[in-house]
Amino acid sequence: MSMRLWEHHLNAALLTEPAGLSLQARQSLGYAQIIDFIEGRLSLTKAVEQIKVATRQFAKHQRTWFRRFPGVRWIDLTATASPREVAERIHAGLL
């Protein structure tokens, strides 16, 4: 996720009132840390760092889980690939 997109999600989360969220939502990736920040249990810097760590751990768990499925086709994404290029590569692979 790009930093700009990540910052957008962070700002949106900061505007959310945590009291109206379900328990499951409160425990989801990123929300738990932002709620801890809003409620004064974490500094913003610490919350952001914990979100980054949790995101990397989640991505690793996903990669490990998908390795169990031999039919999964991985897409090699480069830093220069636009969303359109990625979509075209996916579409070409499905046909």
pLDDT of residue 38: 83
pLDDT of residue 3: 59
Tens-binned pLDDT, residue by residue, of the chain (95 aa): 555 666 666 666 555 555 667 777 777 888 888 888 888 999 989 999 999 999 999 999 998 998 898 888 777 777 677 888 888 878 887 64
Q: Which two tokens stand for residue 76?
A: 């090699």
**Per CATH, which fold does 3-70 belong to?**
Helix Hairpins (1.10.287)
93 near 73, Cβ under 8 Å? yes
pTM: 0.59
- Domains in the chain: boundaries: 3-70
